[in-house]
Amino acid sequence: MTMLHTVNKSPFERRTLDSCLGHASKGSAILLLEDGIYGALKGTVVADKIKDATADHPIYVLGPDVRARGMSEDQVIEGVSVVDYEGFVDLVTSHDNVQSWL
Amino acid sequence: MSTPMPSEPWEEQEKDPAVKKFMYVNRRAPYGTIYALESLEVVLIAAAFEQDVSLVFLDDGVYQLKKGQDTKSIGMKNFSPTYRALEGYDVEKLYVEKESLWTRGLTEDDLVVPVQVVSREELRELMDQQEVILSF
Amino acid sequence: MKLGILVNEGPYQHQASDTAYQFTKAALAKGHEIFRVFFYNDGVNNGTRLSVPPQDDRNITQQWSQLAEEHKLDLVVCIAAAQRRGILDENEAKRHGKDSSNLAPGFRISGLGQLIEAGIQADRLVVFGD
């Protein structure tokens, strides 16, 4: 079973991302969306944590949420893939289960 | 697994054969928001569907099970006794994450109902086995 | 694939309903079936036909109603959560002696069993919330 985890909280305000990383088994995918996208950007204090996590998890970020918040795809951490809503749908259907870390 | 209720053969055929593993993930404290209460309401309804139900309490969700809740002065209903009634609904798999407890200075003795305390590692495996995960 | 959608936040206050809507549209465009969209917690507020957002803003409830009409979507508002928050269809309004109802077109009010059924019947259930 491979799972998709989603995180929609800013890592600077909530501990949701940490909780997700702590509970996601190796190989499971993580999608950052809504305010969760702030965790996917270079140059922040959590950037190294995410970069390290890409060794264990495919990590994705929802592009529409990145652009909406004035960030560009160039600012997304290397190894994190940008997807659109169709890509989000593909992630859901290609994994056995979805866990939303609300 | 509980013993199935005796039933007539034609009733067996009527039943939906799908039994899925449902996990209810509770990560929020009670009263500050309605999530804990309304999550519990889902679980009570879900019990009638004879699915394989697990409840997990982690992060601030462990506060839902704290003993001795007294809500009189805040004007809200204390729904914590309902967790003790879950057994009567055949909802018997209650898991509490060990790390979430000790991070908050709580132990199993602080909880209103008997639970299975599991490590983060065990919880990770449990989650991986689920088919439907409902988080509130 | 058959997908179930759970929306746990109301419109405007939180992005959850917008994201769920964009996700649902994308899933339909890709040829997936949406078994049901279930609205719970403050998510039931997505079902009011009485909201009047500014003209230059999206009308979230109308978006859902239109999508439901175009794709025969089953939009279900949880009855228990709806009663608490004053979302009523005509029958419920009558039953509780209220002078009006406010459920938007394309939505129906039903029990939590509909959510569990979505979990059982759909291949995936995706939760959108806060």
Per-residue pLDDT tens digits for A25-48 = 999 999 999 999 999 999 999 999
Domain of C53?
A: 2-31+40-108
What pLDDT, in 10s, does the model give residues C32-79? 999 999 999 999 999 999 999 999 999 999 999 999 999 999 999 999
Predicted local distance difference test score (pLDDT) of residue B6: 46
Q: How confident is the model at residue B3 (pLDDT cuts 50, 70, 90)?
A: very low
Contact B86, B40 (CB under 8 A): no
Name the residue in chain B with its Cα closest to that of C5. Answer: B134
**Residues 6+ positions from C37 with CB-CB distance below 8 Å:** C4, C5, C6, C7, C20, C24, C64, C73, C74, C75, C76
B46-72: b or e for each residue (b if 16 or more CB lie within 10 Å)?
bbebebebbbbbbbbbbbbbeeebeee
> Could you tell me the pLDDT band of residue B12, with boundaries at 50, 70 and 90?
very low
Question: Which 8-state DSSP code applies to residue A57?
Answer: S
Q: Do B42 and C40 touch (CB under 8 A)?
A: yes
> Which chain A residues are within 8 Å of B133, Cβ to Cβ?
97-100
Q: How far is Cα A1 from Cα B130, in angstroms, rounded to an integer?
A: 9
Both tokens assigned to C55: 């003209």
Q: Which of A15, A99, A100 has its CB closest to that of B127?
A: A99
Residue C23 pLDDT greater than 80, yes or no? yes
CB contacts, 8 Å: C30 with chain A = 86, 89-90
What's the rounded mean pLDDT across residues A2-21?
A: 97
Q: What is the pLDDT of residues B33-62, one digit of tens each?
A: 999 999 999 999 998 999 999 999 999 999
Q: Locate all alpha helices (DSSP H) within C1-130, ordered by sequence.
A: 16-29, 60-71, 79-85, 90-95, 113-121
Predicted complex: ipTM over 0.95: yes
Distance CA C130, CA C112 (A): 20
Query: What one-letter code names the amino acid at C79?
Result: I
CATH of the domain at C83: 3.40.1260.10
For C29, which residue in chain A has the nearest alpha carbon? A86
* Minimal C-alpha gap between B20 and chain A (Å): 12
Task: Give the list of residues 6+ apart from residue B125 with CB closer than 8 angstroms, or none.
Answer: A25
pLDDT tens figures, A63-94: 999 999 999 999 999 999 999 999 999 999 99
Percent of the residues in chain C that have a pLDDT greater than 70, as a whole number? 100
CA distances from C126 to A28, A47, C5, C93 (A): 16, 27, 5, 31
Looking at domain B19-135, what is its CATH homologous superfamily?
Answer: DsrEFH-like (3.40.1260.10)
* Correct CATH for A3-101 of 3.40.50.300, 3.40.50.850, 1.10.3720.10, 3.40.1260.10: 3.40.1260.10
**Residues of chain A contacting C3 with CB distance shorter than 8 Å:** 92-93
- Spatial distance between the Cα atoms of B3 and B78, rounded to a whole number of angstroms: 32
Would you say B89 and B70 are in contact if contact means Cβ atoms under 8 Å apart? Answer: no
Task: Express as a percent the part of chain B with pLDDT over 90.
Answer: 85
For residue A1, is pLDDT > 80? no
Among A2, A4, A6, which residue's Cα sits nearest to residue A101?
A6
CA distance C117 to C23: 21
Query: How many domains does the structure of chain C reveal?
Result: 1
Q: What is the pLDDT of residue A22?
A: 96
Share of chain C above pLDDT 90, in %: 100
Q: Is residue C21 part of a domain?
A: yes
| Chains in contact with A via at least 3 Cβ–Cβ pairs below 8 Å | B, C
Helix (H, G, I), strand (E, B) or coil at A31: strand
Q: Is residue C123 part of a domain?
A: no
pLDDT at B14 over 90: no
What is the band of B136 on the pLDDT scale with cuts at 50, 70, 90?
confident
In angstroms, what separates the C-alpha of A86 from chain B's closest C-alpha? 22
Contact B49 C113 (CB under 8 A): yes
Number of Cβ within 10 Å of residue A40's Cβ equals 30
Please report residues of A whose CB lies closer than 8 A to that of B125: 25
The stretch A12-24 carries a mean pLDDT of 97
Active site residue C3: no
User: What integer pLDDT is reported at residue B15 of this predicted model?
Assistant: 45
Count of pairs with CB atoms under 8 A, one residue in B, one in C:
47
Measured CA distances, B4 to B55, B90, C33, C83 (Å):
21, 11, 33, 35
Question: What is the pLDDT at residue B17?
Answer: 55
Q: Residues C44, C75, C76, C78: which is the catalytic one?
A: C78
